[in-house]
Amino acid sequence: MRFQPDFETIPIAESARRVFGRLVDALIGRRNAMRLLAASGLGLGAGLAPSLRVATASEAALEATLKAVVDTLVPADRLSPSAGDLGIHLEILASAPVGSAARTRLDAGCRWLDDAVGVPFAALGDEERAALLSRLDGLPPDDKSDVAHFFRDVRRGTMRRYYARPEAIAGFASFDGPPQPVGYPKHDRPPTRIE
């Protein structure tokens, strides 16, 4: 019996599909084809979701720091879960593969946050976390450093992903108050930059 793969549903890279197809076409058999793919690192596990991957020690530290960052940007409240509770930090990590410029910025930013006060960022209290992130937010817009890019990318990615999730806005259905509970207190003044 020959193995006939369904190439549309196998979650592996296109190059691996071509290699896999050639192996099967050469009639080496399913078992030998799977052994060769596993040995080359192109096995079926290559496309698994980020929550199923095995984290190294430094990867675990990166995840912990990034979770603390997104939880500081969007903390849980009585209406909604935090960004970390929804796994937004894992989505951000998954969008920045190892070796990419985005991953280099993530590594640099998380390392800076962990080294800034001598303890891991995730171990800090809410006020200390907010103060460090405020320092990054205060960097000039033309700053091209990895740390500046890190903060802008993570903030943008967190907000975009968080508010696209139904769980994030489900709690607002129970809110029956006005959209601006305190009104517009400075309505008679021109707009100013929010500090």
Tell me the three-class secondary structure of the chain, residue by residue: CCCCCCCCCCCCCHHHHHHHHHHHHCCCCHHHHHHHHHHHCCCHHHHCCHHHCCCCHHHHHHHHHHHHHHHHHCCCCCCCCCCCCCCHHHHHHHCCCCCCHHHHHHHHHHHHHHHHCCCCHHHCCHHHHHHHHHHHHCCCCCCCCHHHHHHHHHHHHHHHHHCCCHHHHHHHHHCCCCCCCCCCCCCCCCCCCCC
Query: What pLDDT does 173 receive?
Result: 76
Query: What pLDDT does 195 receive?
Result: 59
Tens of pLDDT, residues 137-182 = 998 888 888 889 999 999 999 999 999 999 888 877 777 777 777 7
Rounded Cα–Cα distance for residues 73 and 113 (Å): 14
Rounded Cα–Cα distance for residues 103 and 116 (Å): 20
Tens of pLDDT, residues 107-136 = 999 999 999 888 999 999 999 999 999 999
Task: Please answer whether residues 90 and 50 qualify as being in contact, where contact means their C-beta atoms are separated by less than 8 angstroms.
Answer: yes
Question: Exposure of 102 by Cβ count < 10 A (0-12 exposed, 13-18 middle, 19+ buried)?
Answer: middle
More confident residue, 52 or 170: 170
Query: What pLDDT does 74 receive?
Result: 94
Q: 194 falls in which pLDDT band (50, 70, 90)?
A: low
Task: Please work out, in degrees rounded to the nearest 5, the angle formed at the alpha carbon of residue 84 by the alpha carbons of 149 and 147.
Answer: 15
Domain boundaries, the chain: 14-48, 51-171
Q: Please give the model's pTM, rounded to 2 decimal places.
A: 0.62
